[in-house]
Amino acid sequence: MTIQLLHKKLIQKKLTISVAESCTGGLLAHNLTKLANSSKYFQMGLTTYSNQAKMKILKVNKNIIKNYGAVSKECCKSMVQNLSKISKSKINVSITGIAGPGGASKNKPVGLVYIGIKKGRTLLVKKNKFISKNRNSIQKLTVKEVIRIILNLI
């Protein structure tokens, strides 16, 4: 499952995509735009890294972050739902997680990443536990997983 295949399918099916990333810091947007003609499908990429950005730009309710944390199914779901309102893309993706090496807790270990995908009425939020202590590796595994999920959806 490669970015090249996704690139081809998005163009063929005339699908648009937007992303809101946290722990991947723009890596998904980078991958989606590195091939020529990506402007045919890529609409926007937001790197909403801080809680403040999640609340201000993506309109994630502060109580969601207070009660569940930024790395939660609830936050990820809110991010992708609100992104879809802003972007009007056919496919919307949100990512929030802990790439490490710090920032982890007993309940939220390094490698815990939530991926939210909204395509039409389909909304899924997938909890992932990537096993790696390497920040870069967790980010790359996350992007790979997003590509796999979208290819299965379209």
Query: pLDDT, tens digit, for every residue of 43-101?
Result: 999 999 999 999 999 999 999 999 999 999 999 999 999 999 999 999 999 999 999 99
Domain spans of the chain, in order of start: 3-153
Strand order in the sheet with 122-129: 42-47, 17-21, 91-97, 112-119, 122-129
User: Are 94 and 124 contacting, i.e. CB atoms less than 8 angstroms apart?
Assistant: no
Record the tokens describing residue 31, joined without a space.
């991958």
Residue 140 reports pLDDT greater than 70? yes
Distance CA 31, CA 74 (A): 26
Over the stretch 2-49, which tens digit does the pLDDT of each residue have?
999 999 999 999 999 999 999 999 999 999 999 999 999 999 999 999
Has this prediction a pTM greater than 0.95?
yes
The pLDDT of residue 1 is 63
Give alpha helix (H) positions in 3-72.
3-12, 27-33, 51-56, 62-68
Listed residue (119, 114, 38) closest to 84, CA to CA: 119
- The predicted pLDDT at position 132 comes to 87
Domain 3-153 belongs to what architecture?
Answer: Alpha-Beta Complex (3.90)
